[in-house]
Amino acid sequence: MKRRRLGVLGGTFDPIHVGHLDAANAASAALALDEIMLIPAHDQPLRVSEPRATDFHRFALATLAADDRPDWRVSDMELVRQGRSYTEDTLQALQDCGWQASQLFFILGTDAFAGIASWHGYPGVLDLAHFVVIARPGVAIEEATMRVPELRSRTCPPPTGEERLDGPARIFLVHADTRDVSSTMIRERLASGLPIDDLVPPRVARHIQKHHLYGAVDNLHGKDQRL
């Protein structure tokens, strides 16, 4: 019997956008994941500035992005934990809830993986789950792996078929086409009064505009503004 596989995508999500969703979809397809869990961070350790939106709104935006996806859910575990949001603590908490390392698949982009040696708990954090590295515009998989040559022996392509993934945690490299979008780009466009229709799911855009997040102006007069 196939054991359930949980994909974990953490981030500040300030705001969540189609690039995040592309990464999760690519990981799900490559590793045959059964569920995707989005985890908004309370305090991203490597982020220079504070989130522009509150914890409440960032959680709401992630929930709206996952709303029409039955196998996706959003967890507030890092928001209620307060303090720094370390991946090591989150993966350990999931194991405390009954998940085994071989069932957890932590999803990240090549840009984040290139700097993973600076993460809290490195390299031990890599033993707490499989890591799924998704190609992102601007940082090719080959370039990202060159920055952490000590991890090359742990990297491999996704398995084929129904291969069991027991044993030591691995680092799976997934070549995928993900859209070139960033939260910074979205915030800058909103501050300039520019549309973000192709950068976030429609319900996320409506929530941003309705609550005037990131300097957005509500331009949906006469349209359906339901969340």
pTM of the model: 0.92
Residue 185 pLDDT exceeds 70:
yes
Residue 167 Cα distances to 78, 134, 186, angstroms? 28, 22, 41
pLDDT band at 170 (very low <50, low <70, confident <90, very high): very high
Structural domain boundaries of the chain?
Answer: 6-182
| Closest residue by Cα to residue 17 from 178, 210, 133, 222 | 178
Please state the φ and ψ torsions of residue 61, each to the nearest 5 degrees: -65, -40
Residue 36, strand partner residues: 7, 72
Give the Cα separation of 27 and 21 in Å (integer).
10
Class of domain 6-182: alpha beta
Segment 40-90, tens digit of pLDDT: 999 988 776 788 999 999 999 999 999 999 999 999 999 999 899 999 999
Residue 173, strand partner residues: 133
Question: Which residues make Cβ contacts (< 8 Å) with residue 199, sequence separation at least 6?
Answer: 17, 18, 181, 185, 186, 189
